[in-house]
Chain A
Amino acid sequence: MKMVKCVVWDLDDTLWHGTLSAGDDLVLREGVVDLVKTLDARGILQSVASKNNHDDAMRKLDELGLAEYFLYPQINWNSKSSSVAAIRQKLNIGIDTIMFVDDQPFERDEVAFAHPEVETVDSAELATLLTMPRLSPKVVTEDASRRRLMYLEDQARSEAELDYQGAADEFLGSLGMIFHISRAKGDDLRRLEELTERTNQLNSTGIQYSYEQLDELMHSPDHDLWVCELTDRYGSYGKIGMALVEKQDDRWTINLLLMSCRTVSKGVGTVLLSFLLKQAAENGKRLFARFRRTDRNRQMLVTYQLANFRVVSHEGSDYLYENDLAVRQEYPEYIKVEIDA
């Protein structure tokens, strides 16, 4: 079961009773404000796919005090499947993590036809939403409860980036990014568990680790468990990456390396790897890495192979890499790296 990352709402006769463009008196559906706020507090993002005049609908959402809860609302006369696709792209999440709520069977079918992986829900069933397992995370981490705010900060960054005249790496330089690497502590473990469940693109194996497993690894003398946090002038991205290194005599093996998909466009994917390369070289170790190819982690493959990791053996889609530590990549100039080892 894949947890839902974003619920996409219809407006007319779903969020509220009545049709905005028909001039109806609109009344919020009973309990819907609580529903929106509860999902938000659980770290589930929300957006809108509505066929309406954009400005009118946004004004109404504003009046109702709900506008801030919806990221990248798609209010236009296009098909809802195209609105869902636009939201998926803006949020950079998997289509199979989106849930779509609409009162009209036609709209639900249209979305399901174009995106079979999207779960669709009839507005009549709204009362059951909060008990659905896909919408009920076991634990809500601090990062999760701030998730919407972090996406809003991202939105501000993207707008600044559009305004910026110059090469992409110059823009990154203007963000004042600080990348902080430290050993995982007890209160990081829930977040790390969540990262292993939610991260697909920049994930070296896709293997999920439970809180208990991570707790054991954190205390194991044969393992290093690293966590990293990224901040810039717009705020913190939170804990966005981790690495698990198994230490056996003169061999170190990176069993897991992952970075949250929200940071993909920030060019920080290689920083943690560069850190591990430096560490291995300084300690005179051989450095290996496990990699499991999935249909979504090509970027992680690129990250490893262009950091000069070479395949030493493989079985099916499981690869073992080794890096001879001959080529060392410095940290990018536009990021300040802080290490707390």
Chain B
Amino acid sequence: MHDEAVVNMADVTVADYAANIRAYLRENMTAFKDVELDDEDNIFERGFFTSLFAMQLLHYVESTFDVEVPDDYIMLRNFSSVRRLADMVADLKRTSGE
């Protein structure tokens, strides 16, 4: 019973991260402005992703969620969708002991 409640709480948190990230992408990338953006959509295929935007996204993630993204987390897989970004944040939060 207790375990299940914890898992649900974690899901809620990840969903919060995802909503926050989705809003950020919509606001900052024209390609996502007036279209559906599902959490599983590959954002690299949907809009052109420059290293400049990647840096901005990285700063946004680090400052908004108060995490530090280590070098080996910076890979296409972790940045390819809203869902994966949110999962990465959750993972970093967990390993930093929160």
Tell me the A residues contacting B by CB distance below 8 Å: 166-170, 202, 264-270, 293, 298-299, 301-303, 305-308, 310-311, 327, 329-330, 332-333
Contacts and interface: CB of A to CB of B under 8 A. Distances in A.
Interface residues of B, number: 22
A270 B33 contact: no
B28 A302 contact: no
B74 A305 contact: yes
Contact of B49 (A168, A265, A268, A306): A306
Nearest to B33: A167
A293 B52 contact: no
B48 A306 contact: no
A311 B74 CA distance: 11
B30 A170 contact: yes
A264 B29 contact: no
Given A167-B33, A329-B44, 17 more contacts: A167-B30, A169-B48, A170-B30, A267-B51, A269-B51, A270-B49, A270-B50, A298-B71, A302-B51, A302-B55, A306-B51, A306-B54, A306-B74, A306-B75, A308-B76, A330-B48, A332-B50
A302 B55 CA distance: 7
B42 to A, nearest CB: 10
List of 9 A-B pairs having minimum Cβ-Cβ separation, nearest first: A267-B50, A303-B51, A269-B51, A267-B52, A332-B48, A167-B30, A305-B74, A308-B76, A302-B54
Nearest to A271: B50
B71 to A, nearest CB: 6
B46 to A, nearest CB: 12
Contact of A327 (B27, B51, B76): B76
Contacts, number: 68
A333 B48 contact: yes
- Quick one: which of A168, A268, A305 has the most chain B CB within 10 A? A305
Contacts of A329: 44, 48-49
A302 B48 contact: no
A167 B53 CA distance: 12
B74 A302 contact: yes
Nearest to A300: B51
B79 interface: yes
B92 interface: no
Interface in B55-78: 55, 58, 71-72, 74-76
B76 A299 contact: no
Contacts of A167: 27-30, 33
B49 A269 contact: no
Interface in B22-36: 27-31, 33
B86 to A, nearest CB: 17
A166 B34 CA distance: 13
Contacts of A170: 30
A127 to B, nearest CB: 43
A265 B51 CA distance: 10
A302 B76 contact: no
A332 B33 CA distance: 17
